[in-house]
Structure formats: structure tokens, C-alpha cells
């Protein structure tokens, strides 16, 4: 298995631009997670999906952030408009078990390093 | 509420030194415990996990962790570190009751050759 795939690996954009991050989870995994990692705040869960349905988006910082999962093999995280404080590494992860996010190993993608100028 | 605390933010060791990274959590119910590692420039990967059974868990690369329920702790240990262990280490606590997995702030380990 190729593991969790994320694109792009690096993104540099200007403030106010729309940014779309993409993720392909491991085939057969029912859960998909989006995390943000910064020096100041560490690793934060933004949102997670179960069987393509958003379950908990309480970590999404504000309305500028949105996430979709149109099918079991693809998810996007969009920031519109982007701001310099959104600069971070964004990770996607997936897992298998039906017990919920805390009950099985999460497999992380390589991350997207976003820089907003 | 569920929370995780990693006491050491930055640890510097020489090769062959012993390692212990602290992790404490707060949650009164049944927990699942994880240690993840993030090598420089790479993604997080699982080191070891504890769900039930023997509280001493062995993971990859010679790491182990001990779950002490009375102390709400899950400290990570390695008897002799190598330069290649330089990485950031995250403790995480999950619960099927809350449906959440909470990560600690992470500990950066620097091993000097």
C-alpha cells in the first residue's frame, strides 16, 4: 500500500489567495483526519470524517477553513482567504477501526507545508 | 476533559545514554495510549501502543513504554539512544467513550554523536 498521500508537499501563496490541500487515505480505512502542526500550538485536530461524513469539526479555526470528502478515496481542506497565520504543516491521517479516533493507529501522510506570505 | 501532558519539551542526550520521556494524561475512563515519532522532515509514525494486557509495551527500534494506571502515566524509555533517534516524540491518549485522540505537545529529542 502506498500509504496516505498528500498533495502538494509544499505550497507558498500570498495572503488572500485560496489554498486547497488534498489527501488520499489508505484504501479500506473508514476514518480520515486533518491536523495542523505549528511550533506554538503543536499538533491540532481540525476535523475528522467517518465513512465520508464529517463527525467533528470543532477544531476548524474559523469559517475560512472548510473540508470535504466526496468519496472514500479523496478529501480536501480549503482555506479561503488564506492569512499568514495559517502557515503551518497540515497532515492528513487515516485509520481503520470502527471504535472511533482513539481506538486504533492513525497512519499519517507526509504533510503539506503551507507558507502564506 | 481528556488531556495529555509531556513534561520535557526538549531533551539533549549523548549516544548510549538512557532515555525516559514523561507522559501523563487526565481522563477517568478506559484509555488507549500511543507514542508517535516524527523524524526530521518526515511524517508521524507509530512507535508503540497500549490498549490492554501487559502494561509494559515494546515497540519498534528498541523503545518501550510502561502504563502505570495509578499514576496516569505512559512514559517512553530506551536503554541506549542512538544519533538516529533524534526526532520529535508525541504521546497521545484516545478513548472509545469520548471518540477523541488527544496529542501531547511533543518532546524534541536531540542525540549528540
pLDDT tens profile B64-87: 999 999 999 999 999 999 999 999
- Decide if B5 touches A, using CB distance below 8 A: no
Residue B98 sits at the chain A interface (C-beta within 8 Å): yes
Q: Does B16 touch chain A (CB under 8 A)?
A: no
Using the predicted structure, report yes or no on whether residue A7 has a pLDDT greater than 70. yes
Decide if A42 and B93 are in contact by the 8 Å CB cutoff: no
Chain B residue with the nearest C-alpha to that of A97? B96
Residues of B within 8 A of A46 (CB-CB) are none
Longest dimension (CA), chain A: 40
Question: Quick check: B25 pLDDT over 90?
Answer: yes
Give me the pLDDT at residue A100, please. 66
**Shortest CA gap B104–chain A (Å):** 8
Q: Given a cut of 70, is residue A98 above it in pLDDT?
A: no
Q: Which of A59, A102, A108, A111 to mutate to test the interface with B (most CBs of B within 10 A)?
A: A102
Which candidate in A2, A4, A40, A43 is best for mutational testing of the B interface (most B CBs within 10 A)? A43
Kindly report which listed range (A45-54, B3-12, B95-104) carries the lowest average pLDDT score: B95-104
pLDDT confidence of residue A62: 86
DSSP string, A66-113: EEEEEETTEEEEEESS--GGG-EEEEEEEE--TT-GGGS--EE---EE
Amino acid at each position: 500500500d502506498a500509504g496516505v498521500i498528500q498533495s502538494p508537499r509544499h505550497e507558498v501563496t500570498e495572503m488572500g489567495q485560496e489554498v486547497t490541500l488534498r489527501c488520499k487515505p489508505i484504501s479500506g480505512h473508514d476514518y480520515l483526519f486533518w491536523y495542523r502542526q505549528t511550533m506554538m500550538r503543536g499538533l491540532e485536530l481540525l476535523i475528522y470524517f467517518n465513512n465520508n461524513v464529517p463527525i467533528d469539526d470543532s477544531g476548524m479555526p474559523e469559517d475560512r477553513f472548510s473540508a470535504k470528502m466526496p468519496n472514500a478515496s479523496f478529501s480536501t481542506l480549503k482555506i479561503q482567504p488564506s492569512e499568514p497565520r495559517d502557515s503551518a504543516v497540515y497532515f492528513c491521517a487515516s485509520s481503520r477501526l470502527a471504535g472511533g479516533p482513539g481506538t486504533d493507529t492513525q497512519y499519517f501522510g507526509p504533510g503539506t507545508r503551507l507558507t502564506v506570505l | 476533559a481528556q488531556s495529555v501532558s509531556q513534561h520535557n519539551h526538549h531533551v539533549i542526550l549523548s549516544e548510549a545514554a538512557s532515555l525516559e520521556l514523561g507522559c501523563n494524561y487526565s481522563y477517568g475512563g478506559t484509555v488507549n495510549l500511543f507514542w508517535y515519532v516524527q523524524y526530521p522532515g518526515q511524517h508521524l509514525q507509530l512507535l508503540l501502543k497500549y490498549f490492554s494486557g501487559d502494561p509494559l509495551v515494546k515497540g519498534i527500534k528498541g523503545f518501550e513504554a510502561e502504563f502505570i494506571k495509578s499514576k496516569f502515566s505512559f512514559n517512553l524509555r530506551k536503554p541506549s539512544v542512538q544519533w538516529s533517534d533524534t526526532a520529535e516524540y508525541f504521546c497521545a491518549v484516545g478513548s472509545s467513550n469520548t471518540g477523541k485522540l488527544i496529542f501531547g505537545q511533543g518532546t524534541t529529542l536531540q542525540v549528540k554523536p
